[in-house]
Structure 1
Amino acid sequence: MSFGNQVQLKVYQNLEENIIPVSFEELEEKAKKVLDAKPFDYVAASAGAEVTVKNNSKSFEKWQIVPRMLCDTSKRDLSIELFGKTLSYPLLCAPIGVQSIVHPEGELASARAAAAMDVPFISSTASTYSLEKTAEAMGDRNRWFQLYWSSDREVAASMVRRAEAAGYSAIVITLDTPMMAWREKDIEHAYLPFLQAEGIGNYLSDPVFCSRLEKSPQEDIRSAIMLWAQIFGNPALTWKDLEFIKMQTSLPILLKGILHPDDAKLAIEHGVDGIIVSNHGGRQVDGAIPAIDALPEVCDVVNGQIPVLMDSGIRRGADIVKALSLGAKAVLVGRPYMYGLALAGEAGVKQVLRNLIADFDLTMALSGKKSVRELDRSLLKRI
């Protein structure tokens, strides 16, 4: 019996309890009720009028699945191969910073849940807990590290080297956040959690960062916060800077935030190992192209030379089926697991992942496909 059928059976027999809402909309609404407005809006809200985040979800509706009948899908294979490792599912936890604002255990709880579900966890630079503590929480499970490239390049290099030493298996460089966007809700609340020392754990534990301070963060946290504010972003970066990071690690390097096919070409020309098509969940450029609309063109340009992953708008199993059919090797899920974390900590994240995988498994089977490798554009019709 495959994953989705097993989950259904356990739920229907009351062997597993639904501790959080199953639908994304109810999940988000309940999280809104339990969280204070500032942290909820920090997670849920996006840039400007929030057109991009709305269109991320709406654009999935343009692609419709055309199921095939009388296909033997009794045994399914959800696994994929990525950078020499077998992943049980084509799903990863997207890098999300400052998770401690919705739950005191923050990234540690999410990482443990991902490990329990055998889903790779991408640890954010902007975590409250250090990348070493997150790695420890995951044991030997697959994990990646996401880099916000600091304007102090030696701090960026130090974090990459620390990640490799701590057993992370890939580096994800986020390109679309050289500075924070105009996020109306955060401006209204005058809320930036980093200024309360939330989400800067990787900096406070970094030897290069600490060497820039006259006193240790324990002695003078305010100076540490101010230094973080000075060096967080790096709008001066160009393609030629990638060589510097490549020199710091032997790990595969993926670029997150690619939306234009010409940038995909440049990524390949500069020797990166993977691309993540993403608009940061609508949090950076209001009015940007939905990620699912950018995906086919990027995949066409890449033409299988390197893996293409995708995030921004993944809410249900059908979304995963559509993204993979359009060429994504795997998808990243973000806000849903944050709401699960807010409502029930580690167990909430675990159940969000369980539900997504089960939904994906059943949707794939009901579409007439028995493995991820069978998913292609012939399954979809654009309206």
Structure 2
Amino acid sequence: MKKATSMAGVALLTSLSLVGCNTAQIDTATGQGSLVTYQCKDGTEFTARLSANEAVADLPDRPNLALPLVESESGTTYSDGSTKLLIDGEKAVVEVNNAIVLTECTLATATAEPSTPDSTQSHNPSTENSNQSTNSSGASNSSRPNGTRTQRVQFAAGSTSTTVEDVIVGYEMVDYVLGAQAGQYANVSMATDNPSNYFNILPPGSDQAIFMGSVNGNQYEGTLPANGDYRIRVYLMRNAARRDEAADYRLEMIIFGGGGGTSGGRNVEGDALVPGTPYNATGDIPCVIGRDGADNFCAFGVVREGGGDGFVEVTNPNGSTISIYFQNGVAVSAEGRSGAFSATRQGDETIVFIGEDRYALPDAVIYGG
């Protein structure tokens, strides 16, 4: 390990000397380290706090990950056995299970900062948080848990969505566990008052995220790949967690289609799905987009829940989507577009207005036939 530690000091000094006005130096004897930021070829940015014996990396799908220093033939390598951070001069590469996931990452900034008092100890978010008495919201750290807490999410009977509101502080993370089936459609979005607050989605039985909020933003929409429990992990990026910031967030989860029997949406028994989709029917409906818009057609997909309940996903000509919800055959609300909502009946059609947009939905869309 002496070889690795010595090489780490050389590599870090070399890297940090190349950052110009952000120059910092690591003192392996006193345990002082540096917070570094890397910009990668694909646009991804990540940070890491480097010390004499480990790196604590804030990777897109794995925030606050402690990686011990390991032997290396060249440059400096930190690894926990599955995730590996390789630093050579001002360049860095990240591997997961021997596959490169971030490449051509270049040192962008470096700032000297003190690490924990005992530099031989592994990174411990609980210990680090306890060294600070208050957070940005004024709450005491001693009254809040650290690490990851888990909350099972259940939809109300007949519902396809639910919303939770909560607050996290510092290194807290929350896993919202949601049962779903392969082929179901999911739409997860989060509003937050902290720009460093994100969520990831982890599939059943895996810690490899299928969606990373810090890379893709706080909106996920797609078809789920497997049966089982999905974890929607809410967290703060390390730049905010280390300052013990708070995040007040609202997380909305929508799941429907795919045959029912989960905590998400359900389909009418015997009402087959269109192959390769979560919908009971697809097609086009008449629509007019905007105050002066021309008559047009918008693509739709419908999930029928029986008795006139369900919702219709409509794709506008510009590619944006909205969801129109029905109860007992009556259009009651819509999501995905701002503007006042209203609905009227004309013959065997429901005419829905959302702002200045207009959609005509035949009864057959929601009832079938």
Q: TM-score over 0.5 for the alignment?
A: no
Which has the larger helix fraction? 1
TM-score, length-scaled by structure 2:
0.22
